[in-house]
């Protein structure tokens, strides 16, 4: 469970807790990015349950038609901000108008 009221509100606003309780394996937030070092690779901010059943935040990569978590850590507002900034640093935002397929 989040360690702060602000964290709980953020998860509620994004619908993370409800989606995970529904049985979704991954819950996505924010835009899709292409990696600068590998323009074919698509990554996105993701929430999931870790091995200890805690909510975790990180990012996932699109491989074929499925998303796979690349790295994650237990959710905190600090970790959430870190992964948002990291994706902006390592990738370029994909314009939804330029999408070739519906990811």
Write the secondary structure of the chain as one string of H (helix), E (strand) and C (coil): CCCCHHHHHHHHHHCHHHHHHHCCCCEEEEEEEEECCCCCCEEEEEEEECCCCCEEEEEEEEECCEEEEEEEEECCHHHHHHHHHHHHHHEEECCHHHCCCCC
- The pTM score is 0.88
Interval 31-84: pLDDT, tens: 999 999 999 999 999 999 999 999 999 999 999 999 999 999 999 999 999 999
Rounded Cα distance, 69 and 67, in Å: 7
Interval 5-15: pLDDT, tens: 999 999 999 99
């Amino acid at each position: 469970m989040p360690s702060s009221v602000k964290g709980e509100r953020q998860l509620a606003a994004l619908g993370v807790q409800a989606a995970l309780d529904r049985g979704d394996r991954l819950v996505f937030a924010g835009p899709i990015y292409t990696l600068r070092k590998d323009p074919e690779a698509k990554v996105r901010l993701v929430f999931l349950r870790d091995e200890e059943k805690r909510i975790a935040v990180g990012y996932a990569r699109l491989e074929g038609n499925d998303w796979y978590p690349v790295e994650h850590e237990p959710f905190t507002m600090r970790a959430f901000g870190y992964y948002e900034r990291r994706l902006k640093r390592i990738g370029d935002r994909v314009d939804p108008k330029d999408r070739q397929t519906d990811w």
